[in-house]
């Protein structure tokens, strides 16, 4: 493997990891802000999404209308 290809793979891997980190922080912030706006308890679960506490149970924010 050439040095140029190795550098390119390292840089692309680092950019991918940075993108994942930024996306995760954005999703967590959005979930937290939703909880602040609605005065509800929220948490962000990785690979699941924003969860909202309703009647003692955690429900996905996207499925909240079905529960209410």
DSSP string, 16-37: HHHHHHHHHHHHHHHHHHHHHH
- 29-58 pLDDT per residue, tens: 999 999 999 999 999 998 899 999 998 889
pLDDT digits (tens, 9 = 90+) for 1-29: 799 999 999 999 999 999 999 999 999 99
Contact 48, 59 (CB under 8 A): no
List the domain boundaries for the chain.
3-67
Q: Give residue 35's region: left, alpha or beta (phi > 0; psi -120 to 50).
A: alpha
The answer to pTM > 0.85 is: no
């Amino acid at each position: 493997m050439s040095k140029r290809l190795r550098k390119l793979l390292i840089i692309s891997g680092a950019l991918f990891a940075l993108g994942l980190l930024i996306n995760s922080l954005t999703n967590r912030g959005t979930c937290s802000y939703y909880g602040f706006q609605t005065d509800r308890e929220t948490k962000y679960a990785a690979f699941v999404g924003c969860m909202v506490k309703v009647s003692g149970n955690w429900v996905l924010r996207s499925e909240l209308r079905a529960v209410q």
